[in-house]
Every structure is written in C-alpha cells, then in structure tokens.
Amino acid sequence: MYRQAAYDDDLYRRSRPGAAGYVPPARFEDAPPLPSALSREVPPDLPELSEQDVMRHFLRLSHMNYGVDTGMYPLGSCTMKYNPKLHEVLANVPLLTMHHPEDPPFFVQGTLALMWHLSELLKDLSGTQALSLQPAAGAQAEYLGVRIIMASHAEAGGGRDEMIVPDTAHGTNPASSAMGGCRVVELPSRDDGRVDVDALAAIVSTRTAGLMLTNPNTLGIFERDIHEIAGIVHDAGGLLYYDGANLNALVGRARPGDMGFDVVHFNFHKTFATPHGGGGPGAGAIGVTKALEPYLPVPRLVRDGDTFSWSYDAPRSIGQVRAYYGNVGVMVRAYAYLYANHGRMHEISGQAVLNAMYLLHLLKSHFEVPYYDDAPLRMHEFVISCAALKKETGCGAADVARRLLDYGIHAPTVHFPLVVKEALMIEPTETESKGELDAFASALIEIKKECYEDPKTVRSAPHVASRRQLDILAAAKRPVLSRMHERG
Amino acid sequence: MPFLPSEPDNESMRACIGVNDLFSDIPPSVRLSCPPLTPPPRGDVEVERAVLGTVGANRPVVSFRGGGVYRHHVPAVVSSIVSRGEFATSYTPYQPEVSQGMLQSLYEYQCLMAELVGLPVVNASMYDWSTALAEAMLLCVRVTHRDAFAVPDTMSPQRRAVLGTYAAAAGVDIIDITHHPETGQMDLEHLAAVLGRPCAGVYIESPSYLGFFEEHVPDMAALAHDTGALLCVGTDPLSCGLARAPGSLGADVVVGEASHLGNPVTYGGPLLGLFAVRDDMALIRMMPGRLIGKTVDADGATGYVMSLQTREQHIRRERATSNICTNEALCAVACAAYLSYLGPRGLAGLAEALMANARYAMRRLSSLPGWEAPAYRSFHFREFVASSPVSPAAIDAALAPHGLAGGIPVGTHAALYCITDLHRRDDIDMLCTVLEGL
C-alpha cells in the first residue's frame, strides 16, 4: 500500500537567530569594508540553520517527491527509464568536476577525449556526419537546429522563413521555430495518426525552411512515409529536422540520418538514462549532415593525434547558444551508458517497444485507443483517450491520472498530444518488469471501474499523496512567487 | 545496466501481443541489420575502469580563472541532498501532489534568491548566465517593442557571443557602451548618447566581468528609465551577501550565474542561470521559464504548483515567451540547500573572505616587477585584472608544470584573476613564486 510522507516543514520556521552550520574560510589579510554606497543596507533575509536543520528539512522534502527510484513513471515522451547509480559516482569524481571551462586544454585532455568519443558514438547512432555537444537541453538543440537551417538558407539567398510542424508535435518545436525567426505552419495528421503527406505537398513552397518531425510521433506511431516526406521537403528546397524526443524507440535499429534527416537532436535524459533532476539539467547534442557542418556552433572540439583542443575558427558558424561547451556532467553519464550498452542498443529499443505494445495489449479492450483501426502498431509509447469515460462518468484523463497516484504509480502525460481528446500518453520504457506493467494495467482498469461506481473518489484524488488536490487557479489568479513577493 | 527486467518474460509478452514484427512500420531500406552484440554489454567494473581510464588523462589544477563561472567548495550536506533519488530521478513536477518536495525546494530557491538580488520574482532557473541574459534581452524587446539593446564593452566575451546569437535571430542590434580607461566604470555620457536611439534595455554587470563594482547603478537606472528602457543587471549572487542588491539600485531584471552556490563547476556545465524581475505583471507575464507558486490544497494545507504556465511552450506553443522546457532544477535545489546552510552571516563571511583574499593576491602580484593589480582603480570583489610584463600564454606555459593556471587572458599583457574559497594562501604564494622567476 502506497502512502507518501506529508510534512509541513518550513525553512524559515526552523530558523533560529545565531544558529549556523557553516564556517567561512580564513582571511589572508584584513580588507576595509565596502563604501556605504556599495554596501548592503541590511543583510539578506536568509534563514539561520544548523547543518542538521538543513539536512532534515530537505530530506523531508525528498520524502514528498516521487522519482523513478520510487516507482514506475510512465510519463509519455519523457522516457523515464532507470538511471544507473554507477553513473552518479563517475560523474562526481574530482578529476571531472574540478576544472574551470577556461582552464588550458593541457589539464582536461581526459574530459575532451570523453567528449570526442561520445560525439563519435552519437554520430554513429544517428547517421550524421558532424556533431555539437553544446545545447543545454533538447529545446536548446531545437533552437540551434532552426538557426543552422536558417543560416544555410540565408547563404543560399534567403527568403525561406516557414517551419512546418505537425499538429502532434511537442510545444517546444513551434516555440523554438518562432524564437529562431521562423513562421510556424501547422501540418495536420491523417486518420491513421500520421502526417498527411498530401497536405505536406500542398504546404511546401519556396518559403519552406524545413519540417520538424518526431519519429515515431507523439502518438507512438512510426511515420512510415518518411522517404516520401523527406522527398517532398527536400524537393521544395527545405531541410528535415529530427526531434530526438522519441529516439528510444529506434536507437540501434534505424538511424534518422538514413531516413533523410539533415539535423538530429538527442535528449540525453530520455535516450541515455541520465537523471532528469526534477526538471533538469539535461543535455541535447545535435548532429548534422556534412553540408551543414560549417554552421555548427563554436567552439569546435579539434583532435590532433591524441591531443584535443578548442577552435573558434569557423566563419560560417551560427555562433554560440550558451557559454562554453555544454553540460559536461550529463555527458559523462551518457558516455558511461553508451560504453556499457552501445552494442545492444537495438535490444534496449526492442524491449522499450515490446513493453509498450504489451501494455497496450492489456489496455486496449478497456480504453479507447485513437487511430488503432488504421494503425495498430505502436512503438515505445501509446495514447489512450478518456473522452468516452468522461462523457459517461464525469471523470476525465486528469482525474484518472491523479487517481493513479493513489496506487503508488506516477501518472502518464495528460492532455497531450492535442489531437486526442482526454489523452493519456503512456511510455513504460524498457526498464520496467512485466510485473510492474501488469500492476499498472490492473490499476488503470480498476480506476475505470471506480469511475462508474465511485466517481467522487476518483475526482477528488489523490488521497494518499503528501497533499490533496492543489488549487492551481488560485495560484494563477493571485500569484505568490516568493516570501518577498508575498510581503509585497 | 545489463539486465532488462522484463526480458525473462519476453516470450509470454510476445505471445499475448500476437504480432510477429513490432518494427514492420519502419521501411526495410532504413532498418539496420541489428548484428549480434558488438561490443557485448559491459558490466560496472569495465565501465568504471574505462571512464576513469579516459578521465585519468585530466590533470589536477589550481586555477585562478573565473569570469562568471567559479569553482567553489560544495558542502557535503548539499551533495547529500541532491543525490537523493527522489529528487534526482524525478521529472518536471507535472503532478504537483506527489512532487511537493521538488516544488517546495524550487520555491525556496526562488525565495532565497529574491532576498539576495532584491527582486521578488525569480524563475526556477535558466541554463546559464549567458542564456538568462539573452532571454532578458528578448523580454525587454517584447515589453518595449524596440530593437536595440545596450551592453558594456567590458562584458564577458562568452556572454557577448551568446547574446549576439539570440539577438541576430530576433533582429535586435547590440550596442556597446564604452568605459573609463582608468577606473573601468561605464561611461555615463556615452550611455546617455547611446540612449539617443530608443533602446529596449540597458545591460550592466556588477561586479563587472573585470571584477569591480559599478558605482553609479542608480544613475544608469535613471538614464535607462528616462528613455523608456529597462535596466538589466548581471551579477554574481554571492556578492549580494555583502553588496547592495541590484533590485534596490533600480534594476528591472537581474540575471547571473548561481551554479557555484552548491554545485561543482564540471568544466562549465551544468550551470545555473539566475533570472529575476520586479513585481510587475507586465514583466512577469512576459518572462521566460518556470515559476513555482504557493497555494493551498483541498484541506487548506500549504502546497506548491507550477504557476502562470500559460506563458510556456507546452501551452502557448509558437506564442510562448520562450522555448525553454528542461531547465537546471536540481542545480537550483543545490543552491537552495547551500544558501540555507550558509545563512546570512555565512554568506557575508564568505563574500568578505573572498574580497580580503583577492586583495592579498592583488598585493602579492603588484609586488612583482612590472606587474600591476588591479589594473583598474575601482572597488573589486573577488576578481581583478592584473597587467604583466609577459603574455598570459607565457604565464600559463610557465605555470602548467606546477599544476597552476593563471587568469583568463583579457589583453596581450593582462589577465583576469579570480579567488574562490578553494584557494589557500600557499596557492597564491606559489603562483607569485613561479611568476617571479619568469
């Protein structure tokens, strides 16, 4: 039986004037105080706590949080697979954590070699010819990809400013396109949940900069017309962008580069088992074709024999999208994962797909599966709809999701993709056992029963989480965003 | 992770599904042959040996480089907290009721950082200082509908490069403001002249990239505000333990780097971008990134949720205020734990020690023949430019065999030196001994 801890632990309530755990470093000489015009009038209002206070407070908060280490986390398109603990140890060795990004390359040949080897593995897995590890996250990789595409068009004379994005795409695709200077053109999907190829042919023009595609798409369906899609976009002079959010379905079995994609991004926390940290940090490498290599960001990692260094000499580069080289700590974890597993990535993707299809099989007679008649195969994830359930019982996707929490299981992604009403997007990943999958299916089927028999319990869920339903509307209406904000 | 937990049940699962080839949607032309396992899966011992072997080519260093990214000591209590699997292996808190730990920790980060920088609304993190600055520029452009942004010519080249990338896509001109050659202080007359063209925002850094405090921030705020521009201040939040909060000096937006408050430097990533604005709904609704808000649950108990999400990409898509999704949440939790551990006196004590020890380093370096530190006559925090009779490259070449790295080169005969809590007096003495023999 699942019960999440519930504390009412307040950092400032624990504060006691004079309490301290920290001892400041020694001073090598006395310094005069700052002149009063520069000096703070009153000290910042931070709590005063012992080390034990700090530990207890945050340990209690951790008890009020659910992670993959706690249980199944089938958040669709987020690929919440298990994060091996060895990687945490490796990413924290002092020889990796101690260096400043401006330190001369002489001191960091090991880190640079690791980045080089990681790049080679990623190029091989994606079928791309050149790669940058700079993006801090998938969305930043998208922005970078859009900039690279726009830079190549600008050099060819410009005039292309339309980015085509399917209606099933993640919100970052249109947002990154807009930020990168593009107008977004939405591409509808067909009855089988795939991109409408005829509509694409009608949309492309001399204004087309490119198409951003997630494959398999967010319904978990593989875009099997990918050659035709690539042909239409390329014939129109546009470029193809591969959103790597769903790469875990394909890795080791098919390569975006072979499908005609010109730009490919990776989400390290999704495909390479790096922890997501409650929102980040992530890392988002980007691979491109030989033709697009000149536009990759600076600095570029350069190898001369066994010696590595950085080069800023790339006149056609789009520049830098963040300071320095990327989230190195995340790269170390991804490299460890690939070093252990790259020879069997196809087994991993195979298991991810088998687990999802098995779960779909358990659920498909109980829930509506949109597009199933026209497209029965799903890859690493699938989407069910609670639209009929909502109509009949008043309990929708969000209610079912919250009720799952009472069963000790994290909820799937809710109300996405937008093309499915009352959507629950489910991605079990390869690291869940058959027992966990069975338990998840049983819980969903039981909750469906509850929706008819006891809808009030479902709609008021969760009941065993550290808080009951939270008032999100009040939080938006009268935002309280900090203590200082609350003081006014 | 050689073991896939459902593997022993694969046959029975396949039988249930009743589909032979789960990958038949993929055109044969792009399907790889899936060769037998080459290389075979490797166990923990092999992986550990290989990664440590590769990393073994790194060399330990006592480095005097900073410039916006700093190597500081990470207290064990902080690493212990962020290594909790409940925090580290969670996703963005989309289900708030089971994610109160992360949400409250991020809210506390917002609270603590607000107190430091003197602005009440802090987001739950950006990637780093440079992207926080780029997003601040875009915020100013959205709010003012203007297409120019003024920056100090003394600013970090890294941040300037990133800002330039984002400005180019947005069609924004970046205009440099000059500085006083002796003090390094921003030239107010030039700023006023630059503002002859309506700017969306004015950006300043204090402490500056070159290490000194800007002494006329209220005047810069007045100049900016008189022309309808917003004032954005870049800062090291650690300096706010001692120095006046930018929010009290007229800043509308504060950006900066906070990774050194509780996180290892790890060759420059992950970092922790600080982003704060005034309590003004026009700014809040236009700002990027996640905001955690305080609310109540159905029983009236205090709880936390992601708030004002209609600004964000997953709701607003191409009309979102930013494309940011994954941020640096766990680094922000580390920062909250770090600031809780230090408290107001610990933070002030640390800031004072850095100032005093930087002063010691300046005095020692200045005693070397032909050296001058600081090169600019202003009040410095923990970094300073030292001018030298030899080039930074020659200095680094001489220092490397001793396991030392000098300052970041900022001129043919000048480098930016930085002091953190990891520098011993012996390190500074050793630096000077080697430099003396050059």
A257's enclosing H/E stretch is none
- Which residues, in sequence order, are bridge partners of residue A442? none
B389's CB contacts (< 8 A; 6+ apart) are: B369, B370, B371, B413
Residue at which a domain ends, from B337, B360, B384:
B337
Q: Nearest CB to A482: which of B47, B114, B348?
A: B114
Strands A183-187 and A162-166: parallel
Structural domains of chain A sorted by starting position, each given as residue range(s) with its CATH number in brackets = 90-340 (3.40.640.10), 345-465 (3.90.1150.10)
For residue A184, which residues of chain B lie inside 8 Å, CB to CB? 317-318
Three-state SS string across B33-54, please?
CCCCCCCCCCCHHHHHHHHHHH
**Would you state the torsion angle of the CA atoms of residues A212, A215, A220, A224, taken in this order, to the nearest 10 degrees?**
120
The answer to whether the CB atoms of A341 and B305 lie below 8 A apart is no
For residue B112, which residues of chain A lie inside 8 Å, CB to CB? 46
Q: Domain for residue B12, yes or no?
A: no
The answer to whether the CB atoms of A482 and B14 lie below 8 A apart is no
Q: How far is CA A121 from CA A55, A138, A286, A430, in A?
A: 40, 18, 13, 21
At A92, which amino acid appears?
N
The CA distance from B230 to B218, in Å, is 13
Query: Do B367 and B312 belong together in one domain?
Result: no
The two tokens of residue B428 are: 């500074």
CATH number for position B362: 3.90.1150.10
Query: Do B162 and B271 belong together in one domain?
Result: yes
Query: Do B218 and B272 belong together in one domain?
Result: yes
Instruction: State the count of interchain CB pairs (< 8 A) between A and B.
Output: 685
For residue A121, which residues of chain B lie inside 8 Å, CB to CB? none
The CA distance from B239 to B261, in Å, is 11
Query: Do B313 and B353 belong together in one domain?
Result: no
Q: Nearest CB to B1: which of A61, A82, A114?
A: A82
Q: Which of B179, B183, B174, B180 is nearest to B202 (CA)?
A: B174
Residue A374 DSSP label: T
The answer to whether the CB atoms of A61 and B341 lie below 8 A apart is no
The two tokens of residue B12 are: 């029975």
Strands A382-385 and B121-122: unpaired
Q: Domain for residue B306, yes or no?
A: yes
Q: Nearest CB to B320: which of A175, A335, A361?
A: A175
The answer to whether the CB atoms of A320 and B352 lie below 8 A apart is no
The CA distance from A429 to A15, in Å, is 43
Q: Which of residues 274-303 of A touch B (CB under 8 A)?
A: 275-284, 297-298
Q: Domain for residue B19, yes or no?
A: no
Min Cα–Cα distance to chain A from B337, Å: 7
- Residue of B71, B127, B416 to mutate, interface with A, max A Cβ within 10 Å: B127
- What total of structural domains would you count in chain B? 2
The residue of chain A nearest to residue B67, with distances taken between CA atoms, is A102
The answer to whether the CB atoms of A174 and B330 lie below 8 A apart is no
Query: Do B224 and B314 belong together in one domain?
Result: yes
Q: Nearest CB to A402: which of B97, B124, B295?
A: B97
Q: How far is CA A475 from CA A185, A459, B296, B363, in A?
A: 33, 20, 8, 53
DSSP, collapsed to helix, strand or coil, labels residue A382 as strand
Half-sphere exposure of residue A210: CA atoms within 13 angstroms, side-chain side: 30
CATH number for position B199: 3.40.640.10
The answer to whether the CB atoms of A150 and B125 lie below 8 A apart is no
ipTM above 0.90, yes or no: yes
Min Cα–Cα distance to chain B from A403, Å: 11
Residue B125, phi-psi category: left (phi > 0), alpha (psi -120 to 50), beta (remainder):
left
Residue at which a domain ends, from B337, B369, B390:
B337
Q: Taking CA B70 as the corner, what is the angle to CA B88 and CA B397, rounded to the nearest 5 degrees?
A: 125
The two tokens of residue B75 are: 């207290």
Three-state SS string across A179-215, please?
HCCCEEEEECECCCCCECHHHHHHHCCCCEEEEEEEC
The verdict on A339 touching B (C-beta cutoff 8 Å) is yes
The two tokens of residue B73 are: 């000591």
The verdict on A86 touching B (C-beta cutoff 8 Å) is yes
**A118-150 pLDDT tens trace:** 999 999 999 999 999 999 999 999 999 999 999
Q: How far is CA A287 from CA A79, A240, A337, B149, B222, in A?
A: 20, 12, 19, 32, 46
Q: Domain for residue B39, yes or no?
A: no
Angle of helix B129-144 relative to helix B157-170, nearest 10 degrees, comes to 40
What's the pLDDT at A294?
98
Min Cα–Cα distance to chain A from B427, Å: 12
Q: Domain for residue B198, yes or no?
A: yes
For residue A213, which residues of chain B lie inside 8 Å, CB to CB? none
Q: How far is CA A49 from the centre of its chain?
A: 35
What's the pLDDT at B36?
62
**R_g (Cα) of chain B, nearest Å:** 25
- Residue of A12, A22, A147 to mutate, interface with B, max B Cβ within 10 Å: A22
Q: Which of residues 194-233 of A touch B (CB under 8 A)?
A: 221-222, 224, 226-227
The CA distance from A364 to A244, in Å, is 27
Min Cα–Cα distance to chain B from A228, Å: 11
Query: Do B195 and B252 belong together in one domain?
Result: yes
The two tokens of residue A233 are: 């976009």
Min Cα–Cα distance to chain B from A218, Å: 13
The two tokens of residue A355 are: 């687990």
Query: Do B249 and B396 belong together in one domain?
Result: no
Min Cα–Cα distance to chain A from B316, Å: 7
The verdict on A158 touching B (C-beta cutoff 8 Å) is no
Q: Domain for residue B40, yes or no?
A: no
Query: Do B250 and B183 belong together in one domain?
Result: yes
Strands B408-411 and B302-307: unpaired
Contact, A328 vs A230, CB < 8 A? Answer: no
Query: Do B235 and B270 belong together in one domain?
Result: yes
The whole domain housing B376 covers 343-436
> Which residues in chain B show pLDDT less than 50?
none
Query: Do B320 and B237 belong together in one domain?
Result: yes
> Which residues in chain A show pLDDT less than 50?
none
Q: How far is CA B390 from CA A104, B374, B395, B427, B434, in A?
A: 17, 16, 7, 20, 13
What's the pLDDT at A463?
98
Residue B244 DSSP label: P
Query: Do B117 and B261 belong together in one domain?
Result: yes
Residue at which a domain ends, from B285, B318, B337:
B337
The CA distance from B327 to A322, in Å, is 13
The verdict on A304 touching B (C-beta cutoff 8 Å) is no
B385's enclosing H/E stretch is strand B383-387
The CA distance from B55 to A108, in Å, is 8
Q: Nearest CB to A437: which of B6, B90, B265?
A: B6
**A316-347 pLDDT tens trace:** 999 999 999 999 999 999 999 999 999 999 99
Query: Do B218 and B114 belong together in one domain?
Result: yes
Min Cα–Cα distance to chain A from B198, Å: 22
CB atoms within 10 A of CB A435: 11
For residue A21, which residues of chain B lie inside 8 Å, CB to CB? 77, 341, 346
pTM: 0.98
Q: Domain for residue B3, yes or no?
A: no
Q: Nearest CB to A58: which of B14, B81, B279?
A: B81
Min Cα–Cα distance to chain B from A383, Å: 17
Contact, B419 vs B383, CB < 8 A? Answer: yes
Q: Domain for residue B65, yes or no?
A: no
The CA distance from A440 to A72, in Å, is 8
For residue A227, which residues of chain B lie inside 8 Å, CB to CB? 27, 29
For residue B160, which residues of chain A lie inside 8 Å, CB to CB? none
What's the pLDDT at B335?
98
- Residue of B12, B20, B59, B89 to mutate, interface with A, max A Cβ within 10 Å: B89
